[in-house]
Chains A and B, each alone.
Chain A
Amino acid sequence: MGENYCKSIIGALFFLCFMTAFAQDNSVAGIISDESGPLPGVSVTEKGTSNGTVTDFDGRFSLDIQNSASETLVISFIGYKTQELPIVPGKTDYQVTLTGEVNQLDDVVVVGYGTEKRANLTGAISTIDEKAIQGKPVTNSYQALQGESSGLIIQNATSRPGSIPQINIRGISTINGNTPLIVVDGVISSLNNINPNNIESISVLKDAASAAIYGSRAANGVILVTTKQGKEGATQFQYRGSFGVQEPTNFPKYANSWEYATLRNEALLNSGMAPAFTPQEILDFKENGPNVYWNREIYKDMALQSSHNLSMSGADNGLNYLLSLGYLDQESLFKGPDYGYKRYNARINLSKSINDKLTVGGRMSFARNDIKEHAYFEQWIIEPTTRIPPIYNIVDENGDYTLVSGSNSNPLAQLEQGGTTMTQNDEFLGNFSLEFKPTEHITLQGVFGGNIVSNKNHQFRKAIDFVYPGGGNNENSVTDNYSRSLYLNPYVTATYDRTFNEKHDFDFQVGGSTEKFKTEFFGVTGIEIPGNDFGVISNAGDIQGANGSGSEWSIHSVFGKIGYSYDDRYQLKGNIRYDGSSRFSSDNRWGVFPSVSAGWIISNEDFFKSIEKTVSFAKIRASWGQLGNQDINDLYGYQSLVSSGSNVYSFGGTGVSGAYYSVSNANRTWETSTMKNLGVDLSFFERKLDLTVEVFDNLTEDILLQLPVPATYGLGQPFQNAGSVRNRGWEVSMNYDFNTGPVNHSINFNLSDNKNEIVDLKGREFINGFDVNTILREGYSINSYYALKADGYFNSEEEIANSATPIFVNDVDPGDIRYVDRNGDGQIDYENDRFILGNEFPRYTYGATYAANWNGFDFSIFVQGVGKRQQWLRGEIVEAFHNNNEGPVFERHLDRWTPENLDASYPRLTVGAESVNNAAKSDFYIFDAQYLRIKNVQLGYSLPKTAMDQMGIDNIRLYLTGLNIATFSPLNDIGVDPENVGASGRVYPVSRIFSLGLDVNF
């Protein structure tokens, strides 16, 4: 059809314009729509008069201008930003696209066990709407939220298929479980497997006042997720799909072969050993290579990623429905047989109003994860690729895998021939709800929700047959692990809500909730699979180990809240929750967690009217509250348990079992966080500019810590209520919408910081870690780095003779790192000379979005970053010839100290014991990990509505999108992603993704 069809439409349009232009010249007409189509019922008025009309079902209006002096049309509709347009008499082709009012204060915000008008909020709550998620080529919902809300800190250190980022609200208040509570449609759950396309809105509850209703579960904040449901009207179909490519980012830059060989010789000579390469060999490397960068050899240059989502929704006759299907396919960047991640999502959301008193609802979702991976430990696949120098081929000229540089295996062989691990996770979430309103003011709600998760993991590690002698990995094995968990969370609430004398809003709620979780695990490993094929457990020649375990926990809670609001000006709220946890002994089990909050909408006061034009809304909020935390992994640790293990020893050639005591602490009890929050909400220029500022002060007491205990105690570290930690910080978020001519712009910005400080540790301090030391000390942040401080290099023997040198080094030479002798005792030792040197928790986290749309085109760029963070890195990712290995040598090692290059960025090169001085734990290896990332850029085009009306399509949007477009960070030099967590850098890289997307509504 195509061309003729379009031509006839254009022709018809011209004709229509021509006709209408002749018809009336004192009238105007046009179509008003939003991004999903024509909008009926929009009010169009002549400014300064009462003359107006509303749009019809197709969004069309026409209006006779009554006052010829009028210059402006006002177009307004609830939930949308009001627009004003110049009146052009006789213009009948107004095409107006209304945009939803972001951050508007009249909208409804989902809060714990209910909803509330934004203007009435007294706690610190940020909301994220579906726009923030739409179009980002993410593989899970967390990635989409990064940088979108102040105080919400998400760290995404790897793009490994199926991996889940770290998530945190307002900093680290405890050592245990800093992950916020996630509530999906009222039921405690997770976001891991939620289809991002199903999310309608997200509320982030950050202070005690807003989170207290979740009491014991809320000390790390709460994320409330609401999934979409049908909207009143005819059935809507929606398709969203994207197709793109991923490429790996962040690799260390290697010195090439001849540079490597030169530096290797230098290091050997510096260490009193003979050089390894002759000048001829080095020349040969220079001319003929090879230059094989192993860490690139195990990854593909690109991998595909696609997703398809289809939904059907609507509401009719009291029945509200949404059905959705989703599919995600993310290929792995690892070479090998089709590694990757596939997720299948299905969701049904239903609710039915039986009559005006009773509503029944149900929401169910099913997610299936299929992850296909290699069968080896990822760190040990990556580690050799980082350290093996480029003089070796990874496969030889015959295509055989090499065994070089101290490896009895080959990482590429492990990926390509070492077998696979198949992980299949099924997650079923469901909730059934009953809402009964016996009278106008009383609502009773009962919800029975929960989830069932089963994880199945099948690993078939194949024997690898190396051509070269001495190859390891020559035994195959099969491992099957299966776990299943059941989580139930029924709750009931009764709410009383009434307005007296039009000015006194009063609400009261009580409720009770129970949570119960049980998980069971079974695993078995077998070896000697004949033929290296058909890897199932029954083919195993020998069962090597079988084990099973299980655990459960439960929490009971009773809660209540009360709220009073006077004349939309003064608000007062109180919450209380009483929680009991199975993680504590019966004497220490129950905790009471109260909160109070108040708000004052200043802009509703009479005296404010004079500046209403400039400051359209102003509110001050304050809250105080306490929350409990009991989320420790050690479920039964209030009592000492004796667990048994098989084959701990043997007698007479037969394995025997053993028994082991667990660590315990009968006295442990709730951590309590006391949170104070002060917030100001301001809107300017008729709500074009919104600004929210929050300051908070959270003090967590009785923090449950696995404090280091002396080894002489002889057992591990039990959880103890050990001290208190304070997090103080502030958050600013800002939204500004404006137009330049026909272009609508919006700018969105948030910035937050929090500073963590150990307030009380009962006068003790604790040093943790082996390769990397961290300290818990009063007055400093949790897990601050603790190391020697480097102070340049020794340039001469005289300098060495006159300086403190480490007691653990027998010979320091010029070119070695000099350390600061903190206590001035003439020697460097860890006991007395270490400093506190920052930590790896991000500070000054920010996100900024600029979006614009014009005539069907839309563009947005989203930038996100961290202003301050340190990262201690160790091992082959930073040290040349780490641990006496043959490599690595990176480009940055070329600037090493030599007698001719005193101003070097790296000390003299050494191997073996000669490296002990420079490999000491010092801030030489603590790097600045701040970053700014262009996280997402989107460019879209929505086809003109007029063209689609005829096809019965409401909206088509085509867009190009990219994720992790560019990253600016000092860590780029090292070749480690700035969000990296952990010191070794042995992780699957972060991917850059470019994708083409299509949204269709019909």
Chain B
Amino acid sequence: MMKRFYIYLSLVLTLSACTSDLDLAPIDSQSELTYWDTEEDARIFLNSIYADLENADRYLYYSTMSDDVYTRVEDYRNIASGSYGPTNGVVTNVWSSRYEAIRRTNIFFNNIDDVTDISEELRSQYKAQARFIRAWHYFYLIELYGDVPFVTDEISIEESLTLQRTDRDTILSFIYDELSAAIADLPETYPADQNGRITKGAAIAFKSRVHLYNQDYANAAELAQQLIGDYSLFPNYADLFKIGNETADEIILSLQYIPTDREHNIQYSLIPPSLGGYANFSPLQELVDSYLTVNGYGIDESMANYDPANPYQNRDPRLTASIIYDEYQMKDFAGNDIVIDTSPGAAPDGLNYSSNSTPTGYYVHKFFDPTARNQTLSGLNLILIRYAEVLLNYAEAKIEMGTFTQTDWNTTIRALRARAGLQGHALEYPGDDQSELRRIVRNERRVELAFEAGHRFFDIRRWRIAEDVLNGWTHGIQTNTSAEDDGFIRVSFRNFDPAKHYVWPIPQSEIDINDNLTQNPNW
């Protein structure tokens, strides 16, 4: 009896053993161990590294934390008003996305030398592009957070749990070294089908920016000067931000987008509700007031041909190119002429008509893409570095060194103003008074680069003027509903503590799991 049972038992076990394999290969992806093989592998991996450069929303929203723009988006708004801390979403996400991107570049460097099927020239070019991008991420990290953990390898989780912050200057010299190495290996141009890759000029311009930010004016000027003459300004300022002019010579590096396949929707935050927008990004009166009159005077100067009753007439044409104001004439998506009414309460675009209409009386015209899909999905490239910035870097560095000449004026600020359509006094060399020149170049930078890549946000911090421009009420248009502030409507109250706010706090989520991370002062 039992014997028979054993026979059945062995039958059962045999049946259960005739089973399929437990080593299942993935169906839709491959192992890391077999990945790094061909030039294509390296190139595709590098593509993902490019995608990390910046995302479109952040590109735009940096400006909301400056004195140029008001946003309703909670995390940005709270930073702008000084009501934020180490759990703020922007503070947390900027940190984590940069480090995620840094790991990707580290993976790249750990494997690129194992790829056999690639020419040495291409290998060094690819490495140079990755070096630029890794330096780019660290530049943002030290600008925003000061001392940060410094990672140049694929670290383990255990290592990441005990990382300490590295001195900002150590990381800065790494950035310089990496950019120098990149400059040496990068080509000056690429074939048209590779447009958008990092060129030698981009690396030089970026290095110039880093030097300028760190008050190393000699190097900033020297690097900028290397590019003067190599690039040219696009003749029409307004059209520079149109989808047909994405390869203009002025553009040195931009975030690449294409219709349908890779789009951003920043336009949703910019345009009026009547065009399908939601006013999440509203220029402030303070920015509008910084645009000179067309003949080069501030609106409060006696020589200005400024009429408070018609505040947008006779102004720097860059105002109209950048900002939508009351009675603004433009074309809608169908190409019809329309007039935007931003007057208080006017439906649907008027000041505070509804929660999607402007709280300041302004919308944004720069970046407007009439070909956008569903009104908001656009394939327009977003410029990270352009020649105008190089000229302004050069001018500022020279002014700070006290060596700014009329020739320098003519090459830089005058050229930009002339291109924009300013006239007369606006084009005249203002003399060599350093503080006057400083005031001019700073204002020029503000209007020329308005809303682009967070320039103003970083500028007011590095100039240490944030406590002056980010304290007190910000304003929208003059409504005269209240006598306060000359009848300009109050938009939000801001507070900037120079003892604390010049660096962001280290994200709480990081400190929570790594005891070695210290917090920034006063946070």
Interface of A with B (CB < 8 Å)?
A: 272-274, 276, 403-408, 438-439, 441-442, 444, 446, 468-475, 491-494, 496, 510-514, 516, 520, 527, 542, 544, 548-558, 580-582, 586, 589, 635-636, 639-662, 664, 708-715, 718, 720, 764-767, 770, 773, 806-811, 829-831, 883-886, 912-914, 916-917, 921
Contact between chains at B86 and A831 (CB < 8 Å):
yes
Contact between chains at B274 and A491 (CB < 8 Å):
no
Known: A512-B12, A886-B355. A765 touches B512 (CB 8 A): yes
| B258 within 8 A of partner (CB) | yes
Instruction: Identify which of B112-120, B322-330, B417-425, B486-494 touches chain A.
Output: B486-494
Distance (whole angstroms) from the CB of A413 to the closest CB of chain B: 14
Known: A470-B274, A711-B510, A808-B85. A514 touches B16 (CB 8 A): yes
Q: Which residue of A lies closest to B26 (CB)?
A: A636
Residue pairs across A and B with CB atoms within 8 Å: the count is 319
Q: Which residues of B sit under 8 angstroms from A470, Cβ to Cβ? A: 272-277, 348
| B78 within 8 A of partner (CB) | yes
Contact with A along B2-20 (1 / 0, CB 8 A): 0011001101110111011
Contact between chains at A767 and B47 (CB < 8 Å):
no
Give bound CA distance, A731 to B163, whole Å. Answer: 47
Contact between chains at A810 and B45 (CB < 8 Å):
no
Contact between chains at A494 and B8 (CB < 8 Å):
yes
Beta-carbon contacts under 8 Å, B472-523 to A? 473, 481-482, 489-490, 492-493, 495, 507-514, 519, 523
Contact between chains at A656 and B85 (CB < 8 Å):
no
Q: Which residue of B lies closest to A642 (CB)?
A: B35
Contact between chains at B9 and A656 (CB < 8 Å):
no
Instruction: Identify which of B92-100, B294-302, B408-416 touches chain A.
Output: B92-100
Give bound CA distance, A320 to B19, whole Å. Answer: 32
Contact between chains at A713 and B103 (CB < 8 Å):
yes
Contact between chains at B16 and A708 (CB < 8 Å):
no
Give bound CA distance, A770 to B507, whole Å. Answer: 12
Q: Which residue of A lies closest to B102 (CB)?
A: A714
Contact between chains at A542 and B260 (CB < 8 Å):
yes
Among candidates A404, A555, A766, residue contacting B354 with C-beta atoms closer than 8 Å? A404
Contact between chains at B72 and A912 (CB < 8 Å):
yes
Contact between chains at B193 and A651 (CB < 8 Å):
yes
Contact between chains at B512 and A810 (CB < 8 Å):
no
Q: Which residue of B lies closest to A473 (CB)?
A: B374
Contact between chains at B356 and A808 (CB < 8 Å):
no
Contact with A along B80-111 (1 / 0, CB 8 A): 01111111110010011001111110110000
Contact between chains at B274 and A276 (CB < 8 Å):
no
Give bound CA distance, A766 to B514, whole Å. Answer: 10
Q: Which residues of A sit under 8 angstroms from B493, Cβ to Cβ? A: 272, 810-811, 913-914
Contact between chains at A442 and B13 (CB < 8 Å):
no
Distance (whole angstroms) from the CB of A648 to the closest CB of chain B: 5
Q: Which residue of B lies closest to A408 (CB)?
A: B276
Interface centre among B17, B81, B156 (most CB of A within 10 A): B81
Q: Which residues of A sit under 8 angstroms from B4, Cβ to Cβ? A: 438-439, 442
Among candidates B51, B74, B85, B100, residue contacting A883 with C-beta atoms closer than 8 Å? B74
Give bound CA distance, A122 to B376, whole Å. Answer: 65
Among candidates A581, A586, A645, A713, residue contacting B160 with C-beta atoms closer than 8 Å? A713
| B155 within 8 A of partner (CB) | yes
Give bound CA distance, A553 to B54, whole Å. Answer: 37
Contact between chains at B82 and A810 (CB < 8 Å):
yes
| B464 within 8 A of partner (CB) | no
Q: Which residues of A sit under 8 angstroms from B33, Cβ to Cβ? A: 639
A-B contact pairs, 26 of them (CB 8 A): A406-B354, A470-B273, A470-B275, A494-B11, A550-B27, A552-B24, A589-B22, A641-B31, A641-B32, A650-B256, A651-B256, A656-B47, A658-B44, A659-B48, A664-B32, A710-B160, A710-B510, A713-B155, A714-B104, A715-B103, A720-B157, A808-B85, A883-B72, A884-B77, A913-B493, A921-B87
Known: A712-B149, A886-B354. A658 touches B481 (CB 8 A): no
Q: Which residues of B sit under 8 angstroms from A582, Cβ to Cβ? A: 22-24
Contact between chains at A913 and B375 (CB < 8 Å):
no
Contact between chains at A407 and B83 (CB < 8 Å):
no
Given contacts A473-B374, A646-B261, A711-B100, 19 further A-B contacts (CB under 8 A): A442-B5, A474-B374, A494-B8, A544-B261, A548-B28, A581-B22, A648-B47, A651-B197, A656-B47, A658-B44, A709-B513, A712-B151, A713-B99, A713-B103, A713-B155, A714-B104, A766-B512, A810-B83, A811-B495
Known: A552-B24, A556-B22. A710 touches B514 (CB 8 A): yes
Interface centre among B48, B161, B355, B493 (most CB of A within 10 A): B355
Known: A470-B275, A512-B12. A640 touches B355 (CB 8 A): no
Contact between chains at A641 and B29 (CB < 8 Å):
yes
Q: Which residues of A sit under 8 angstroms from B197, Cβ to Cβ? A: 651
Distance (whole angstroms) from the CB of B53 to the closest CB of chain A: 9
| B196 within 8 A of partner (CB) | yes
Contact between chains at A474 and B509 (CB < 8 Å):
no
Contact between chains at B103 and A714 (CB < 8 Å):
yes
Interface centre among B84, B95, B374, B512 (most CB of A within 10 A): B512
Give bound CA distance, A770 to B89, whole Å. Answer: 8
Known: A558-B13, A649-B51. A643 touches B29 (CB 8 A): yes
Give bound CA distance, A807 to B1, whole Å. Answer: 82
Give bound CA distance, A594 to B160, whole Å. Answer: 38
Among candidates A407, A491, A642, A654, residue contacting B258 with C-beta atoms closer than 8 Å? A654
Shortest beta-carbon contacts, A-B, top 10 = A512-B16, A714-B103, A808-B85, A406-B355, A658-B48, A711-B96, A406-B356, A550-B27, A713-B160, A643-B29
Among candidates B156, B192, B352, B523, residue contacting A807 with C-beta atoms closer than 8 Å? B523
Q: Which residues of B sit under 8 angstroms from A720, Cβ to Cβ? A: 157
Q: Which residues of B sit under 8 angstroms from A831, Cβ to Cβ? A: 86, 508, 511-512, 519
Q: Which residues of B sit under 8 angstroms from A512, Cβ to Cβ? A: 12-13, 15-17
Q: Which residues of A sit under 8 angstroms from B5, Cβ to Cβ? A: 442, 494, 496
| B189 within 8 A of partner (CB) | no
Q: Which residues of B sit under 8 angstroms from A913, Cβ to Cβ? A: 77-78, 81, 83, 492-493
Contact between chains at A711 and B24 (CB < 8 Å):
no
Give bound CA distance, A308 to B177, whole Å. Answer: 77
Beta-carbon contacts under 8 Å, B251-274 to A? 256-258, 260-262, 272-274
Contact between chains at B274 and A710 (CB < 8 Å):
no
Contact between chains at A554 and B20 (CB < 8 Å):
yes
Contact between chains at A644 and B12 (CB < 8 Å):
no
| B41 within 8 A of partner (CB) | yes
Q: Which residues of B sit under 8 angstroms from A829, Cβ to Cβ? A: 85-86
Q: Which residues of A sit under 8 angstroms from B104, Cβ to Cβ? A: 661, 714
Q: Which residues of B sit under 8 angstroms from A884, Cβ to Cβ? A: 72, 74, 77, 355
Contact between chains at B507 and A711 (CB < 8 Å):
yes
Q: Which residue of B lies closest to A884 (CB)?
A: B72
Interface centre among B16, B28, B276 (most CB of A within 10 A): B16
| B50 within 8 A of partner (CB) | yes
Among candidates A403, A648, A662, A830, residue contacting B51 with C-beta atoms closer than 8 Å? A648
Give bound CA distance, A471 to B332, whole Å. Answer: 13
Distance (whole angstroms) from the CB of A151 to the closest CB of chain B: 32
| B405 within 8 A of partner (CB) | no
Distance (whole angstroms) from the CB of B58 to the closest CB of chain A: 16
Q: Which residues of A sit under 8 angstroms from B490, Cβ to Cβ? A: 272-273
Beta-carbon contacts under 8 Å, B449-484 to A? 473, 481-482
Q: Which residue of B lies closest to A551 (CB)?
A: B27
Contact between chains at A810 and B81 (CB < 8 Å):
yes
Contact between chains at B13 and A510 (CB < 8 Å):
yes
Q: Which residues of A sit under 8 angstroms from B275, Cβ to Cβ? A: 469-470
Contact between chains at B513 and A766 (CB < 8 Å):
yes
Q: Which residues of B sit under 8 angstroms from A550, Cβ to Cβ? A: 27-28
Distance (whole angstroms) from the CB of A407 to the closest CB of chain B: 7
Known: A558-B16, A831-B511, A883-B72. A652 touches B277 (CB 8 A): no
| B30 within 8 A of partner (CB) | yes
Known: A405-B355, A808-B83. A709 touches B157 (CB 8 A): yes
Among candidates B78, B258, B376, residue contacting A808 with C-beta atoms closer than 8 Å? B78
Give bound CA distance, A527 to B261, whole Å. Answer: 12
| B310 within 8 A of partner (CB) | no
